[in-house]
Structure 1
Amino acid sequence: MLPWSAELAGRLDHDVVDSALLRGNPLGDPHRRPVMVYLPPGYDDDPARRYPSVYVLLGYTGHVTMWLNRAPFRRPYPELADAVFAGGDVPPAIVVYVDAWTSLGGSQYLDSPATGPYHSYLRDEVVPWVDAHYRTIPDRDHRAVTGKSSGGYGAMVSAMLAPDVFGALATHAGDALFEVSVRPSFPGLARKLRDMYDGSCTAFLADFRSRLAGTKEGDLDLLEVYAYAAAYSADADGTVRVPFDDTGAVVEEVWRRWLACDPVMMAREPRHAEALRSMRAIWVDAGNRDEYFLDFGAVAFHRAVQEAGVPEERVFFELFDAGHGGIEYRYPLALAWLARRLSP
């Protein structure tokens, strides 16, 4: 494995989407967002040919240039994706790496009065921008959305919320089944808030923003739950409501708002079940030792997909031997599977 970037058979373009929707967002985050677009081998040789597109969403804390990070003895995803198409046995596709970072660490790819309209940004700005700049097949039957962890969450909810835009999805250890994957952490988080910040999220945020991130115990755990609350349970005026009180007990009114955003619960709603039935392909996987119990989330979402009536031949499901991290080798498997099903 080379310790530096390798030659690609295709091409990776770097550009910027100037988002009108993110301009003036509540967090003051940049409205000009980087985007990376991978073009498969042969793209420049036949100017009449059009291609399916696959949109890739990052997990919590992710920003788009992290896709270029190289772990020891491993290749980053753009190189793994390139290898999928370099051999010529997988139908070519355009792969789009989307940035939806926020200063809270992420947006969950939802519209929120506390963070900004990130679902609309993806649906109404990024996708049309790509279709305008590249030779895509600009319809939902030839467009997929994929991701891991919070990116996998984004893939599930984006497909259910915008089935007119996305006709296929892949989720790797995506956030789901909140009762199992999230709720058990609340007492520990409440204790950290009590012992370090007098129970105040406002005090935590002020302290966190005043120093180097990650230099106190619980930094990312507290920021993460606040970021999720900003996505799932913010009031119309931008007030963020966390789903537990000072004893770690669930605040039922707020928790119901979280559950309404749980992909497993969403999939049981008639309109979202209909959206899932319209998908040309659905890939669901997770490591069977996932530290956040997102393997159970994957099982539950797969069952919800079955209950929605999606034909089995359109669905791939697997639990594989791994934890939550270091599973980038799964992404090209899903990419190849999707490319074959999206190909005209």
Structure 2
Amino acid sequence: MKKIVFSFLLLCISFAGIAQGKLERREFVAASLENNPAGEDPLRQLSIYLPPDYENGTQRYPVIYVLHGYGGTDSLMMNVWIDFKPLLDEAIKTGKMRPMIVVAPNSMTHMQGSFYTNSAASGNWADYIGKDVVQYMDANFRTIPERESRGLCGHSMGGNGALKLGMLYADTFSAVYALSPAVLNWYGDLSLSSPAFKRISQLKTQDAILKGIFETDETGYFNGFFAAVFTAMAQVYSPNISNKELWADFPVSYIGDSAVYDSDVIQKWDSEFPYNMIDDHLPQLRSLTALKMDWGRNEEFSHIPFTSMQFSKKLESYKIKHFAEEYIGDHGSMLDGFEGRVYTELLPFFDQYLKFQKP
């Protein structure tokens, strides 16, 4: 009996000795989102991972900024879509990654996504990440407040945001990793011929569009989903503050069954796609310490594999050093867990390319 009790105590001591990080949630008022005409809430939440022994020491840490996907929030990203804490704890414990701070900002909007783009209607979502969140983290946590110690990553809409902000804020972030980046350019299910534009013309209000977000058409196309996505994109790519219902102009509208294409709005959308931004941001891309993107070959959204490869090939044509990889998986099946891309690829990437405090 004494032997059993002694073994149990040893087990308890062993578990107690395993260093655990801490996950906490903060909120603050983001200056870049204040007084936006569309009424988006500037009070924003942050889910933050603090490494083991953070509260007992004076060490400063690099920070990984994590951008969530469309329909997500900071807490969904950190706790549901990817359960970050056990991955980070294990990576630090095993030496796969040195201790870092990881933060996911909440970029949810009325239409379910900001696309990390500044908007005259809904607020400046690029500046919110590149300025407000970074300033808040540097002011309130023991970060290493230098570009070389800041990494930026994201999944889907967040992957788009990571690539976009990596170009716009290359003086703030030094290493970028995009997981299954969405909406890099027109292709396949993301096209001007999408029936979702007709749906938007018929429904006319945000509430009506969101109500049918899970509806598909007779071909199985995610008609309701893309209607919501295009509306969210329009509010930041082609905002119109005089349109009090949708706060946007659209590249395609319908008169009955006839599509009407607006070349000026199409040009605005084209200029916001990361693929087209490459040409005007070559010095910024070349200044990055490291850039990586990956995607699954069995991706549900047909535009993602094609435009990811297209993006990579354009970088290659400009001789911009980067990593690009297609793996066996779909939009989200190979992200979480100890065999997922976050644990096996993303965390070691930032361990290698971010600058740490010297002992």
3-state secondary structure, aligned to 1:60: coil
Shift of 1:207: 2.9
3-state secondary structure, aligned to 1:106: coil
| Residues 176 and 301, structure 1, Cα contact 8 Å, conserved in 2 | no
Shift of 1:146: 0.4
**Distance in 1, Cα, partners of 2:96 & 2:179:** 24
| Residues 36 and 122, structure 2, Cα contact 8 Å, conserved in 1 | yes
Identity %: 27
Match of 1:279 in 2: 288
3-state secondary structure, aligned to 2:333: coil
Q: What is the TM-score when the length of structure 2 is the normalising length?
A: 0.82
**Distance in 1, Cα, partners of 2:114 & 2:89:** 28
Match of 2:262 in 1: 251
Residue 328 (structure 2) pairs with residue 327 (structure 1): no
Match of 1:336 in 2: 348
Match of 2:304 in 1: 294
Match of 2:8 in 1: none
CA offsets 1:140-184 (integer angstroms, 9 cap, x no match): 111111001100011001110011111111101112442215543
Equivalent position to 2:38, from 27, 40, 44: 27
Change (3 A) 1:137 1:284: same
**Distance in 2, Cα, partners of 1:181 & 1:58:** 23
> RMSD of the TM alignment (CA)?
2.4
Equivalent position to 1:43, from 30, 34, 54: 54
Residue 121 (structure 2) pairs with residue 103 (structure 1): no
Change (3 A) 1:254 1:224: same
- Which amino acid in 1 is paired with 2:36? N
3-state secondary structure, aligned to 1:267: helix
Q: What is the TM-score when the length of structure 1 is the normalising length?
A: 0.85
Q: Which has the larger radius of gyration?
A: 2
Q: Where in structure 2 are there 5+ consecutive unaligned residues?
A: 1-17, 217-222
Change (3 A) 1:192 1:236: closer
Q: Where in structure 1 are there 5+ consecutive unaligned residues?
A: 1-6, 194-198
Match of 2:249 in 1: 241
Shift of 1:93: 1.5
**Distance in 2, Cα, partners of 1:201 & 1:240:** 14
Where do 1:166-315 residues align within 5 Å? 166-181=173-188, 183-184=190-191, 186-193=193-200, 199-200=201-202, 202=204, 204-208=205-209, 214=213, 218-235=223-240, 239-246=247-254, 247-248=258-259, 250-269=261-280, 272-292=281-301, 293-311=303-321, 315=322
**Distance in 2, Cα, partners of 1:249 & 1:324:** 32
- Which amino acid in 2 is paired with 1:27? A
**Distance in 1, Cα, partners of 2:19 & 2:74:** 18
Change (3 A) 1:119 1:318: same
